[in-house]
Amino acid sequence: MSKELKFVLLLDCYGDLLTDKQRETMELYYCEDLSLAEISEPRGITRQAVRDGIKRSEQTLLDIENKLGFASRLSKMRECFEQLKEISDEIGSSEISDKLDKCIEKGLSLL
């Protein structure tokens, strides 16, 4: 998993545990794909200050994930549902396959 995707997932899981300023900066950087300069200019701070804030926020998110592990489990569950979907597709059209598909879709919607 790429670094960007990893932090988007961590933000989705734990973003509310960051301060508003940290969360906003991380979302601008990882979700909106803004550069350090684009983030720093409107705030009147240096790119280095933005970078330092992002690094601190990244470490906070990693620490939380290491303690709780929700994002990792979520990713593994999604992989399992995708494997089940592939198996269901291999089974083909049958009542069991249709029921399995509905269960998979429901499970994926909960993630």
* pLDDT at 98 exceeding the cut of 90: no
Q: In whole angstroms, what is the distance from residue 57 CA to residue 64 CA? A: 11
- Considering the entire predicted model, what is its pTM? 0.77
> What's residue 111's pLDDT?
67
> Could you count the other beta carbons within 10 Å of the beta carbon of residue 29?
23
> Could you count the other beta carbons within 10 Å of the beta carbon of residue 54?
19
Residue 104: which pLDDT band, with cuts at 50, 70 and 90? confident
Q: In whole angstroms, what is the distance from residue 64 CA to residue 68 CA? A: 6
> pLDDT tens-digit profile of 29-85?
999 999 999 999 999 999 999 999 999 999 999 999 999 999 999 888 888 888 888
